[in-house]
Chains A and B, each alone.
Chain A
Amino acid sequence: MANVQSTYKCTRKSSKIKHSKDDLTYYTIVYITIAILTFSVIYPIIYIVSCSISLPSAVAAGKVVLFPVGFSLEGYKRVFAYERVYIGFRNSFIYTVVGTFLNVAMTMICAYPLARKKLPHRNFFTFLFSFTMLFNGGMIPTYLVMRDLRLLNTPWIMMLPTFGVYNMIITRTYIQTNIPDELLESVQMDGCNDIQYFWSFILPLSKPVMAVCALQYAVGHWNSYFNAFIYLTNKNLFPLQVFLREILVLSQISPEDFVDEETSIQLQGMADLLKYALIVVATAPILCVYPFVQKYFVKGIMIGSLKG
């Protein structure tokens, strides 16, 4: 018996070590490819963070290559003293929280009836929704609809039209495939009406897909720029991304933000430092949260890849 075990161990051990020459080259290539790709992703990110905490003069002189040169939090101080950034943060936060809640509610309310097999003309309604994924009028007709709905220059424009048909379809598919019809039949026997069924059975049972949708919507809201750009003219309603465009892309940094600076090189360094710090500040909230919710995203892609 002991002999058998030892031979077994032996073979296992040897099979673990045993790689043919081909395999070794293959694994080397695989690991090198992955190392290169990962490095190319992480490098610009580290570079941005390093720049944001380096000395302004080092940034302006182009001395930062990977690790920070010197140390200063001056950029961050400027960012948080910036009124536009504050307004943007506040608005983006409100739009993200309220908008995500509204959109998930809309998605559930819409997906549940479409998942019920006895809904009259169900295919027709599903078709109406999915058709909009394939065909739409374009920018101007949408703009006109929003204008006639009196949504221009209101916070609602940032939260209501963001409802996603794609999310609705995956929610519907999820409800259809994961919640058996027998459940409805049995609770109906017990005198449960449709609203009770939705509230106390469908909602708790579709928590995973709701999480997926909520994450999609939340990231969408936080990063959304187009809607604000097209529909908003009131500066007090602008989300962070619009201010980011002004500062990062158009370089509209007003000189009065740097009144105490003396030389122009310092000014330039300061402006760039501010940009780097701003990139970090604007992206950090999402990048901090996403490792914890990554598995839900993966789940969302899995559900979404189902045909239905």
Chain B
Amino acid sequence: MARNKKLNILAFFIIFALILVSCSTSKQNSSNTTNQPSATQETSGSEKTNESNVAWEDQNVTAPGQLPIVKEPITLTIGIASNPSVSPWIGLANFQKFFKSYLFKRTIVNTIRISLYSLIAGFPFPIIFALALNSMVHARLKKAVQLITYMPHFISTVVLVGIIMQVFHNTIGLYGTIVKALTGQKPPDLFAKANSFLHLYVWSGVWKSFGWGSILYLAVLTNVNPELLEAAEIDGANRFQRVIHIDFPVLVPTIIIQFILRMGDLMSVGFEKVFLMQNDLNLRVSEIISTYVYKQSIGGGSAADYGYATAIGLFNSVINFVLIILVNKAAKKFGETSLW
């Protein structure tokens, strides 16, 4: 019962959010006749807009940054959220525009491709690593290994991308040096090839996170009942059999929960790393939803269409939300574990 109530509230929120954002997705239009709010509201709204316009222009004057931030006051293109009298209701036109765009399929396929590849490549590593660490005999060596493998987790995304670019540079980098030493030829530029983007992205992610990801599994492995291990040993199970039949089953609920969390993130690939690794040559595989949203809005300069970008972002959020609810239900059914 309680769960139904919660779901009802969730449904209410989704509808509410949808209404709100479809309001703000409406385009700017010169005619003011479609919406006529009360006079007081209108005046306060326009005052506010003017103020923020001034503030925005001031910022541009005092701080002409190098970053591609919009150069015109964006308040005018936003719509109902800032100024109710400017934007007419356009319904779901922005969503339709996105669904018809050729980038619709491409961004979605790229997003799913990146996250599925990351999931498949990255998911087993922490588990195997934790099981291996757990069966190490030398405690000090184990500590040292942990210290080293947790390290990349603390490297920032920008530095990580910097490291990738230095190490895989085809002339001065490690990659270039080694290939040249082995084959005698200068290797091709990896950053100019679209497909290598995917591999670099995914495997650098695995490099960064497998050690850190193993902490959780290691913690769960401390719950293994030592009596079981002892009994198995007496019954003649070797170390490998004990790992497979005793250690691994203890991890299974945690693995399911982690898998759910990752599946819920299927459509949300982090903006930062993709954006940093993007260049014109790999755009075909590296343009994902979040970078597209950025380019349509804040990074779009004078061509920015905030309503359109918001619609895409909302579409993405809704899908993420539905996904996490679905996988959670599935987990409840199959694994008897869930997030809430």
Contacts and interface: CB of A to CB of B under 8 A. Distances in A.
Contact of B309 (A27, A45, A140): A140
Interface string A1-28: 0000000000000000000101100110
B219 A302 contact: yes
Interface stretch (A95-103, A106-114, A145-153, A191-199): A145-153
Nearest to A136: B317
A249 B132 contact: no
Contact of A23 (B174, B239, B297, B314): B239
Interface in A253-305: 268, 272, 275-276, 278-279, 282-283, 286-287, 290-291, 294, 297-298, 301-302, 305
A144 B78 contact: yes
A226 B272 contact: yes
A152 to B, nearest CB: 7
B47 to A, nearest CB: 13
Given A137-B313, A279-B159, A235 B63 contact: yes
Contacts of B158: 223, 225, 241, 244-245, 248-249
Contacts of A232: 65
A143 B310 CA distance: 11
A41 interface: yes
Contacts of A147: 52, 56, 74
B148 interface: yes
B89 interface: no
Nearest to B147: A291
B313 A60 contact: no
Interface stretch (A127-135, A178-186, A203-211): A127-135
B13 interface: yes
- The A contact surface, by secondary structure, is helix
B293 interface: yes
A234 B65 contact: yes
Interface residues of A, number: 80
A86 interface: no
Contacts of A30: 132, 135-136
A135 B156 CA distance: 25
A233 interface: yes
Contacts of B150: 290, 294, 297
Interface string B252-283: 00100000000000000001100010000000
Given A31-B136, A44-B167, A279-B163, A139 B149 contact: no
Interface string B20-60: 01001000000000000000000000000000100110011
Contact of B313 (A31, A141, A279, A282): A141
A188 interface: no
B15 interface: no
Nearest to B313: A138
B249 to A, nearest CB: 18
A195 to B, nearest CB: 32
B207 interface: yes
Contacts of B243: 26
Given A34-B145, A137-B317, A283 B219 contact: no
B157 A225 contact: yes
Nearest to A235: B65
Contacts of B177: 62-65
A200 interface: no
A298 B219 contact: yes
Contacts of B133: 34
Nearest to B293: A139
A93 interface: no
Interface stretch (B105-113, B116-124, B192-200, B208-216): B208-216
B62 to A, nearest CB: 7
A237 to B, nearest CB: 8
A38 B174 CA distance: 18
Contact of A38 (B10, B145, B321): B145
A294 B144 CA distance: 12
A11 to B, nearest CB: 13
Nearest to B241: A22
Interface of A: 20, 22-23, 26-27, 30-31, 33-34, 37-38, 40-42, 44-45, 47-48, 51, 59-65, 127, 130-131, 134-141, 143-144, 147-148, 150, 152-153, 219, 222-223, 225-226, 229-230, 232-235, 241, 244-246, 248-249, 268, 272, 275-276, 278-279, 282-283, 286-287, 290-291, 294, 297-298, 301-302, 305, 307
Given A26-B239, A137-B317, 5 more contacts: A26-B243, A37-B129, A42-B148, A139-B294, A294-B146
List 4 tightest A-B contacts by C-beta distance, closest first: A138-B313, A248-B162, A223-B156, A233-B65
